[in-house]
Amino acid sequence: MVNHDPQCVKCTILRCRSKEKDKKVPAFCPTEKYRGLVNETLEKLLLPENQAVNKGWMGYMSKVMNPEKPREKLSWTRVDEIMEYAKIRGMKRLGIATCGELMPESKSLSDILESNGFDIVSVICLCGELNPQDIGMWGNKVCNPIMQAEVLNREKTELNIMMGLCLGHDILFLRYCKAETTPLVVKDRALGHNPAAALYFSQNPMFKDRFIKK
């Protein structure tokens, strides 16, 4: 049986990125395979809560990609985008869910946000001071991402920012978080929290065998 699992990263046509809508796309194209989902997702995109998110995106992107200021897009950091998005959405109370190892970075973020008029709530991953043995884990301390989420829920934050939560803990945090949430730092201990560097290294012949299994 021919495998038609969606494989957009292997597509050489990329009709979705062009204006040539008559191009024939591969059989694995999700737009073709799930044609019925187009209208279904369109209905969801038109829901007020999702239109509000798109309004925030369009608001800051209209400034980032201002055709009259083409060089300005190079000056927009992710922190700038988060603040602009929050302002457009009328969000004042922001939450920071931080890993204990990134407390200095999270303190800097809090200072920046507060100086720009935001009300900040921050919660460390070790909040609750759980005994690891109580949840079947080893060691003398353990993170509690569910409590992080629930604290921010109770504090009624409007937008939460994840700062270096461990893989797995970020999943639990997102599972229980009620407010809109966006990552600022993704933990990568080897690469200075820049996981995209591994992708660039994998294309370099000197490092390729570190990542690509023959």
The range of the structural domain enclosing residue 48 comes to 24-76
Output the pLDDT for position 1. 59
Higher pLDDT, 72 or 11: 11
Output the pLDDT for position 72. 84
Output the pLDDT for position 119. 98
Is there a domain that residue 131 lies in?
Answer: yes
As a whole number, mean pLDDT of residues 115-129 equals: 96
29 and 62 inside one domain: yes
Closest CA to 184 of 60, 95, 115: 95
Closest CA to 195 of 206, 213, 181, 183: 183
As a whole number, mean pLDDT of residues 153-164 equals: 98
pTM of the complete model: 0.92
Higher pLDDT, 131 or 82: 82
55 and 119 inside one domain: no
Asked if residue 97 lies in contact with residue 121, where contact means CB atoms within 8 angstroms, the answer is no
99 and 158 inside one domain: yes
Is there a domain that residue 214 lies in?
Answer: no
Is there a domain that residue 2 lies in?
Answer: no
Output the pLDDT for position 135. 87
Which ranges in the chain belong to alpha helices (H)? 30-33, 35-45, 48-64, 78-89, 103-115, 145-154, 169-176, 196-201, 208-211
Output the pLDDT for position 213. 87
Query: pLDDT tens-digit profile of 77-90?
Result: 999 999 999 999 99
Is there a domain that residue 19 lies in?
Answer: no
83 and 170 inside one domain: yes
184 and 110 inside one domain: yes
% of residues, the chain, pLDDT over 70: 99
133 and 44 inside one domain: no
196 Cβ contact list (under 8 Å, min separation 6)? none
Output the pLDDT for position 159. 98
Instruction: Count the neighbouring beta carbons within 10 Å of the beta carbon of residue 1.
Output: 3
As a whole number, mean pLDDT of residues 97-105 equals: 97
Summarize the chain as % helix, strand, coil (round to 5): 50, 10, 40
Q: What is the CATH number of the domain that holds 182?
A: 3.40.50.11840
69 and 113 inside one domain: no
Asked if residue 115 lies in contact with residue 90, where contact means CB atoms within 8 angstroms, the answer is no
For the chain, the domain total comes to 2
Output the pLDDT for position 101. 96
Q: Which of 59, 76, 93 corresponds to the end of one domain? A: 76
Alpha-carbon span 85 to 196, nearest angstrom:
24
Is there a domain that residue 204 lies in?
Answer: no
151 and 101 inside one domain: yes
Half-sphere exposure in the Cβ direction for 157 (13 Å, CA): 27
Q: Residue 26 pLDDT > 70, yes or no?
A: yes
Q: Residue 141 pLDDT > 80, yes or no?
A: yes
83 and 52 inside one domain: no
186 and 95 inside one domain: yes
82 and 187 inside one domain: yes
Mean of per-residue pLDDT scores for the chain = 94
Is there a domain that residue 211 lies in?
Answer: no
88 and 190 inside one domain: yes
